[in-house]
A and B are shown apart, each in its own frame.
Chain A
Amino acid sequence: MNNMHSVDPAWAWQPFEPTADQPWDRSTVAHLYRRSGFGMDLIRIDETVNRTPADVVKELVAGNRESTDFRSTADALAEATLAGGDAKKLSAAWVYRLLYTPNQLLEKTTLLWHGHFATGAEKVKDARMMWNQNQLLRDHALGDFGDLVHKISQDSAMLVYLDSVVNRKAHPNENFARELMELFCLGEGSYTEMDVLELARCFTGWEIKNKKFRKNRYQHDTETKTVLGQSGNFDGEDGVRIVLEQPAAPLFVARKLYRFFVSDEPNPTDAMLQPLADAFRESDLQVAPVVQRILGSNLFYSSISIGRKIKSPVELVLGMLRSLKATTNTQLVAKGLLNIGQGLFYPPNVKGWDGGRAWVNSSTLLGRANLVADILENEATRFDGKSLAEYLRDQGVRTTEQAIEHFEHCLLAVRLDEPTKTQIRQTVTSGSGDEERRMRSLLHAMTSLPICQLA
């Protein structure tokens, strides 16, 4: 089953049928919560085992809007940050959402689009613009992809980031036109250099004035353009529409969704993606049905998916916190994420985060362990309002053995083997200190293990 070529694409995307080999149990439920969000506590995981996979996935996808209550609280917090104008602090406002949102899939998908339509605050420098873009991504995260692309093409932060603040007909700026095709919709190789030049002409006259999008008709090139085989006096909206009409578009986005939700490697074949791409096109590029299909599929609960992703920094840290109902200092988390390679609002470049093996190197591995240490030592860190030892006691955890098992169920995609468990026991028992100290030490050790970096 590890060989993707032996998998039938039709079987792959059919609704998940639990089997003796792959039952619907703690492990598969935890997998669903880890991938569709950041993680869930063990009590909730156990409750979910008693429901059907299809119902659970349906409910997750249906949560495609924030509740008004949560939104007003989270927005108020962000507004307070925006008053200071510092984009660096915005990251913490997003961490708040990641930590408390009742709609984890929505937030996870917002993060996906942030990496897809990557825009960096380092260059944009305007916290308000960055935040507006973030809300745009959230509003469309599980909605209409075409609509999202149209709005992104007129988004101030994006256009500042890609140097398209002023686009004059005498010398059209190629940057946005190129990335629209290469990175946002089609992929390199699905267009020519001539298409870049011609598409750039469609966007002439588009500007950002006073932080707002507007069209300057005096700067728009009204001559005929030929983009991807179509000719006409196109403007920017036509350009985006033509790009979205390309057959390469649904396949390109399906590949992105696959990598994000299913596995880092190997790269899926076109044949494997085609059913998803077809469904995406048939639903007029609606994201939610495709995501629902993926999360409810046979493939998603197979060994091709489980344990076949490397946790992003957000997944590692928020996963640990949410799986143990923990809260902490959001600034500390935001800064820490930047240090280990996933600064929110600070993607490395317009291609976003490559993910997979690229999350990991010597520096980020040590950094991951260190960030968890910092969080565990921070006095703001509480577990359902309690100390870690108290929290675990309330869950019926009495011994080191039970604690190992508890963490294993909610944090690890792949079970520990006996030699590793023995080593962990030795690590914990060799340390001195009270119960709280020992439990934190155990949690730190387990989250630092290579196996815990797997999602």
Chain B
Amino acid sequence: MYISTNQSRRKFLRTTVGSAAAIGVGAALPKCFAEAASGRSNTTERILVVVQMSGGNDGLNTIVPYADDDYRSARPKLAIPTSDVMKCDDDNGFHPSMTGMHELLQDGKFAAVRNVGYEKPNRSHFESMDIWHTCRRKDEPRPDGWLGRFLDQQPLAAGGDVPALHLGREQQPAAIASTSIRVPTVNELAEFQLRGNDKQSLRKLLQNRQPTHSASENELLSFLQSSTTSAIAASQRVTEAASSYQSDVKYPQTELGNKLRVVAQLIDSGMNTRIYYVQHDGFDTHAQQDQTHTILLRQWSDAVSALVRDLEGHDHGKRVCVMTFSEFGRRVSENASEGTDHGAAGPMFLCGGGVKAGIVGKRPNLTDLQDGDLKHEYDFRQVYASVLKDWLGTDPSPVLGKEYASLPLFA
């Protein structure tokens, strides 16, 4: 799928101030004009879809070390029976609800990295999530996220498209916070337009707003003004982009399924957006984990595999990668409420036509623990480094703040 440069430029010229310029903040404006003049288009570039499992996914019950006796003794109630596991090899298998992922693995479109974490793990959901989002610890300044820093380095997309998009009702993740770009959040496409009798004149009033004199003194007001112009612009472009999409792939009727269907719609419409971010909440399974975790993993596996299939059917299979992570894994032993408490290292997942399929990393060592939790084998920034370098084609160290050895995750 390729949108001709001419078309992009036409669109750009039509909406110049109304959208393209509005996406950037302040100093980004001239850069944006420069991009348009050079006439480049990013529609063949690779895309990253991030799925965040919020709450701390139980990695041991996701990729199950079914042959390990220590696994069964740590989890008398929660261990997945060997007969239920979908086996990948003599040691590892998938949780039985992950049929979609199992098929992707067989098709060479699924990779997992196990034992991913970081030094001195923090077991607070919020602090640990911040660490994953910003790659910084609490005592360091963290005004932006790793994807935000990636976006800062990219030339602004032609055609006035947003460089990244967050889909969902939740608060925007810090990972896409940037110092120069406002990433829009779209809840539902139908809701992402102005309503009311006076919407035309209101749109006119809200777009193209010049910063007021008071905005220069009040950063919150500047933030509100650029967010508002960005919202109006993104609303027009996204609504336009999504209108003509058709697909034979059946997405599950779940929140995540609906969000990922919209992602496919927008990718297929030729938007130049390179990062899509969605959250899948509910993994904080302190009690009665079994049923909840089964549902959550099924929702994830079904929705992500539908997206991968759908993109393949529309010839985007080779340029989209779906990366899934969680803020921590859970404690190796189950607790008395048939759940698990906050842990440390856990697996990450990559799906799509470009990944090198398989499971990276050793079998989790369930006897050599740190405060009852799995020790990490890989730093999560190694996975980010691989994604930045081998997938998004950029130098990872300025984004991550340091060199991290990448992993062979892409074909």
Contact = CB atoms under 8 A, between A and B. Distances in A.
A189 B281 CA distance: 25
B171 A174 contact: no
Contact of B185 (A361, A420, A451): A361
A172 B205 CA distance: 57
A356 B224 CA distance: 11
Given A188-B124, A370-B194, A445-B198, A450 B221 contact: yes
Contact of B234 (A2, A362, A444): A362
Nearest to B217: A2
B202 A445 contact: yes
A189 B187 CA distance: 34
A193 to B, nearest CB: 6
Interface string A265-305: 10000000000000000000000000000000000000000
Contacts of A373: 194-199
Contacts of A450: 206, 209, 221, 224-225, 227-228
Interface stretch (A67-75, A139-147, A160-168, A240-248): A160-168
Nearest to A176: B286
B37 interface: no
Nearest to B218: A307
Interface string A193-235: 1001000000000000000000000000000000000000000
Interface stretch (B95-103, B262-270, B333-341): B333-341
Contact of A357 (B170, B220, B230, B371): B220
A239 interface: no
Nearest to B373: A193
Given A171-B335, A369-B202, A420-B212, A165 B287 contact: yes
Contacts of B125: 349-351
Contacts of A173: 286-287, 335-337, 341
Contact of A193 (B123, B221, B284): B123
Nearest to A181: B124
A339 interface: yes
Given A163-B339, A307-B218, A348-B171, A188 B126 contact: yes
A57 B92 CA distance: 65
A423 interface: yes
A251 B206 CA distance: 40
Contacts of B371: 193
Interface string B200-214: 011011100110111
A439 B196 CA distance: 14
Given A182-B124, A188-B124, A188-B127, A363 B192 contact: yes
Contact of A453 (B191, B205, B224): B224
A354 B194 contact: no
Contact of A339 (B127, B191, B210): B191
Given A165-B287, A173-B287, A363-B184, A357 B223 contact: yes
Interface residues of A, number: 69
Contact of A170 (B227, B231, B336, B342): B336
B193 interface: yes
A158 to B, nearest CB: 14
B138 A377 contact: no
Interface in A409-437: 414-417, 419-420, 423-424, 427, 430-431, 437
A366 interface: yes
A268 B261 CA distance: 43
A29 to B, nearest CB: 20
Contacts of B199: 373
B225 to A, nearest CB: 4
A448 B191 contact: no
A66 interface: no
A295 B393 CA distance: 53
B212 A451 contact: yes
Contacts of A307: 214, 218, 220-221
A450 B138 CA distance: 31
A377 B197 contact: yes
A41 interface: no
A451 B171 contact: no
A308 interface: yes
A455 to B, nearest CB: 10
B186 interface: yes
12 contacts: A173-B286, A174-B286, A188-B126, A188-B138, A354-B171, A363-B231, A366-B193, A427-B202, A431-B198, A444-B198, A450-B206, A450-B227
Interface of A: 2, 162-163, 165-168, 170-175, 178, 182, 188-189, 193, 196, 264-265, 307-310, 339, 341, 348-351, 354, 357-358, 360-367, 369-370, 373-374, 376-377, 414-417, 419-420, 423-424, 427, 430-431, 437, 441, 444-445, 448-451, 453-454
Given A172-B336, A362-B234, A416-B212, 20 more contacts: A165-B287, A171-B333, A171-B337, A175-B341, A178-B124, A264-B220, A348-B170, A361-B172, A367-B187, A369-B195, A373-B194, A376-B196, A377-B197, A441-B197, A445-B202, A448-B205, A448-B206, A450-B206, A451-B221, A454-B218
Sort A-B residue pairs by CB-CB distance and give the 4 closest, nearest first.
A373-B196, A362-B184, A171-B336, A362-B231
